[in-house]
Amino acid sequence: MPPERYAKIAGWGKYVPERVLTNADLEKMVDTSDEWITQRTGIKERHLRTEKDTNSSMAVAASIPAIEMAGLTAKDLDLIIVATSSPDYLLPPVSSQIQHMLGAECGAFQLGAGCSGWVYALTTADQFIKAGGYNNILVVGVEIISFALDYTDRTTCVLFGDAAAAVVLTATDQPSGVLAFELGSDGSGAEALIVPAAGSTKPIDFEGIENRENFIRMDGQTVFKFATRAVAGSLKRVVSQAGLLPDDIALFIPHQANARIIEAGAKLLRQPLDKFYVNVHKYGNTSAASVPLAMVEAIEEGRLKPGDKVAMVAFGAGLTWAAVVVQMGEGEISPAHTLFSAGRAAYLAKKAQNRVLDGVQAALLPLYTWRHKSRKRRK
């Protein structure tokens, strides 16, 4: 019987454009203030593309160090998956441009799932490797969201930035990589985060431009409520699916959309906020690049090391969400996987306690919501 296959994260890289747009800069462009943006989002600045930056060039800049760190060349790659909602062109897919620019000789495809795209792509690559189809896969998250921002709309233009990040997954027979994942979609919320005039249903025309329908439109309240539920709920499920407890996770990496969403997720998981990686203040929401960019920076800062288990979650247009638990490096996965052990007994006891606390939390949530609304009405 052949040994079990795993997909190890063997290399990583990032690229952030040089141009920085601060809250102070935005104060001169739109009716907003640093205080307003910071209190509602936690964002202080974001990076935007320069004239030299394209979606494909940014992806390549992030991919080259990832490939080199994995000890590979571009010709060793078996597949390239690019998560993005802002390709260079409608056709051809930007994945083929990136493949050519890298000098790779393999298949490549573009994956669109909004801000959740990179986590979708990571789990897809993991399955290709575990199934024995490929050995080395490049997974890129890259966005130039700034091209779709209406800088007269303070509810959206303050939120987003541009960036790219990439990882290389390689096959190994040592336990590592993705331990559990969840992919979700709720198309009933499609209009909560949408660019109305940019596709085949409504191609860009003079009327669309006049009505500013070629820019991102967002129902902030709907997205906020959806995201808060998605962060805590999906993380709880994938951590449990991996045979772990939240306490076993070395670091949580949520989609960097809004600091308040991250804080709410930490409370619902009953985990300290310092276990949640946050860089939203530096970059804003970089969509499909958000989670991999945060992961790369967490590694660079020493927040993640071989053997650590990291839980990542993203949410975005669709509406979509995706969560994954990954073990960095190689080694034993979890004491909970051992059928008879003191570690498993402790795991089951703690899991039962968490279920009770989850029930209490769910029962009290309507009361908390009612009190919060009552206070807002009194103000």
Of the residues 23, 135, 214, 285, which is catalytic?
Answer: 285
pLDDT above 90 (res 263)? yes
Q: Examine the residue annotation and report whether 157 is marked as an active-site residue of this protein.
A: no
Q: Which of the four pLDDT bands, split at 50, 70 and 90, describes residue 139?
A: very high
DSSP assignment of 228-289: HHHHHHHHHHHHHHTT--GGG-SEEEE-SS-HHHHHHHHHHHT--GGGB---HHHH-B-GGG
Class of domain 181-344: alpha beta
Q: Lowest mean pLDDT of 108-117, 266-275, 362-371, name the range.
A: 362-371
pLDDT above 50 (res 33)? yes
Of the residues 23, 47, 136, 255, which is catalytic?
Answer: 255
Mean pLDDT of 77-91: 96
* pLDDT tens-digit series, residues 158-174: 999 999 999 999 999 99
Instruction: Say which CATH topology domain 6-173 has.
Output: Peroxisomal Thiolase; Chain A, domain 1 (3.40.47)
Q: Examine the residue annotation and report whether 115 is marked as an active-site residue of this protein.
A: yes
Token output for 262: 């991250």
pLDDT above 60 (res 231)? yes
Q: Is the backbone peptide bond immediately before 254 cis, with ω within 30 degrees of 0?
A: no
Alpha-carbon gap, residue 266 to 57, rounded angstroms: 35
Token output for 7: 């997909």
Strand partners, 325: 180, 311
Mean pLDDT of 354-373: 53
Task: Look at the pTM and tell me if it is higher than 0.85.
Answer: yes
pLDDT above 90 (res 373)? no
pLDDT above 90 (res 307)? yes
Q: Which of the four pLDDT bands, split at 50, 70 and 90, describes residue 153?
A: very high
pLDDT at 204: 83
Q: Examine the residue annotation and report whether 255 is marked as an active-site residue of this protein.
A: yes
For the chain, give the mean pLDDT.
89
pLDDT at 214: 86
Of the residues 47, 55, 115, 136, which is catalytic?
Answer: 115
Alpha-carbon gap, residue 75 to 105, rounded angstroms: 6
